[in-house]
Amino acid sequence: MSHPLTHTRYFLSAIALMSISLCAHAQHKTPKSLAPDSGAIKSINEQSFAQHIRVLASDEFKGRKPFTIGETKTINYLKTEFEKLGLKPGNGKSFFQEVPMVDIKSSPEAQLIIKGKNGSVTADYLTGFVAGTKHVAAEVGITNSPLVFAGYGIVAPEYHWNDYAGLDVKGKTVVVMINDPGLSDPGLFKGKNMTYYGRWTYKFEEAARQGATGILIIHDDIPAGYPWSVVRSGWNKSKLQLEAADQNKSRATVEGWISLDIAKQLFALAGKDESLFKEALKPGFKPVDLGLTTSLKIKTTVKRSVSNNVLALIPGTKRADEALIYSAHWDHFGVGEVIKGDSVYHGAVDNATGVAALLELASAFKNAKVKPERSVLFISFTGEEQGLLGSEYYAKYPVFPAQKSVADINMDMMGLAGKTKDIVVYGYGQSELEDYAASSAKKQGRIIVADPVPSSGLYYRSDHFNFAKVGIPSLFTGSGVDNVTHGKEWGMKQAEDYIKTRYHSPQDNFEEKTWDMSGMVEDVRLLFDMGFRLSTEKGFPKWKTGSEFKAIREKNKSK
């Protein structure tokens, strides 16, 4: 899934899955004559699924990092497979959409030293802090920058919340908490349902809007939804970003994280304590000048290049100007830090499974006797692991305009728990797409369940989010854990084992002898069933009341 920090998502949520399930009922009925035939459904099978994963996760593909031979092999493999299936190029005459990017390898000093009148705190790189820059420059730095604790680093007028009220952050470095106040106080924001304000990406964006010179996010496992090891693995590699006219000079010079232990130490040095965390929960909280300063230099290695989204199309028979979109990112982390004797980050689960699912869906639509009336666009994105870059670029430069895009169904990290009685819908309550999913799940004798850990904000962490931001209803599901044979506890153990031993590491391999892919196949068949219905209907699924994306869709429709 998305950027190292944006990923510990799906399975991590599954680990906490409780027995409370929410079965939704479809509000739309499709004539039986339009039901997908068994030939189409059967074309989604373990044999072809496994073959795609076997290739994509192989050593030959070198971890599928953009700008490497791994990208070249991956996008050409996808183009060839789509051609074999008889799909047309999805971007005019091309299967590719070029995405201009900048690759920046940030190399900060080995220690971040925070000074105060009573001493100093030293954080070691990768164990106590990580830092980088988005500035396209050979070297950047901050010198004696005052540290200010700015609570959650949020400005949210609709919640009457402004952590930057009265604060001039020019030349200063803000220290902020991860997540949003609702996690600790159900009466604030959306309670335990994380809003976009809780995402680390938002906090960097807001610090830049405020004019801060630096920003350090305090990492804490529970509100972050992932351990420090995920932060470390994501920040000791080069990072990609979209090309920007201002060379990203509008961003804070230094962006980074500090561990909770380092945060406690600097609070103590400032004569404060952990009560500051509780103070930040109070509406009207004012930023606290910590009376500390820090300096840091960062050297960079900059490369400019062009990566590619891969797009393939099945034109609609009646309303070809309308498109249902299926998406899955092809990229992973390439070759990196050696762990247990291996340096290739294969990304078998994350996200060779999703890409294989994309190809399986394309095969099913081509094999369906009843052809889709609307166009079906299959997109495999680049740069998801770097911050949803490929989907961000597509949303800015779409093949089908937002008002003609029916929905996006996104696949990221298919589960290893075999066939399950459930399937998770992240961001439950957002759109009518979940009603379609519930109807298709019912055909399989299954139910959909709401995100068991809404505080992790998984709905904002994969490529579908960039579609939602422009008003296109978007569905993101996670594999269930209630195994039909072994039960829920066994299923959760499989998810937990993956996170602890393989996630975002070279050990995320395709293990043919041990993988049970039957659940993946069931999930993809479900997504085909609901997508087939959407491809034959005339109406558009809607955002539900209360969704922050509802107004955007309605505005686009009026154009």
Name the strand (E) or helix (H) holding 177.
strand 173-177
| Beta carbons of 161 and 286 less than 8 angstroms apart | no
Decide: 178 and 457 in contact? Cβ < 8 Å: no
Sign of CA dihedral 378, 384, 390, 395: positive
| Contact in structure between 534 and 361 (CB atoms under 8 Å) | no
| SS3 per residue for 55-96 | HHCCHHHHHHCCCCHHHHHHHHHHHHHHHHHCCEECECCECE
pLDDT tens-place string over residues 142-184: 999 999 999 999 999 889 999 999 999 999 999 999 999 999 9
Predicted confidence pLDDT, tens digits, the chain (559 residues): 654 333 444 444 443 443 334 443 334 444 444 456 778 999 999 999 999 999 999 999 999 999 899 999 999 999 999 999 999 999 999 999 999 999 899 999 999 999 999 999 999 999 999 999 999 999 999 999 999 999 999 999 889 999 999 999 999 999 999 999 999 999 999 898 888 899 999 999 999 999 999 999 999 999 988 899 989 988 988 888 898 889 999 999 999 999 999 999 999 999 999 999 999 999 999 999 999 999 999 999 999 989 999 999 999 999 999 999 999 999 999 998 888 998 999 999 999 999 999 999 999 999 999 999 999 999 999 999 988 999 999 999 999 999 999 999 999 999 878 999 999 999 888 999 999 999 999 999 999 998 877 777 788 889 999 999 999 999 999 888 899 999 988 888 888 888 788 888 898 899 888 899 999 999 999 999 999 999 999 999 999 987 878 888 988 776 6
Helix (H, G, I), strand (E, B) or coil at 366: helix
User: Which residues are registered as beta bridge partners of 106?
Assistant: 300
Q: What is the pLDDT of residue 158?
A: 83
Q: Which two tokens stand for residue 172?
A: 């200063």
Q: What percent of the chain has pLDDT over 70?
A: 93
- What whole-number distance in Å separates Cα of residue 543 and Cα of residue 539? 13
Structure tokens belonging to residue 322 = 């309308």
Omega prior to 91 cis, within 30 of 0: no
Give the Cα-Cα-Cα angle 472, 478, 482 (nearest 5 degrees): 145
pTM of the model: 0.79
Residues 113 and 295 sit within 8 Å (Cβ to Cβ)? yes
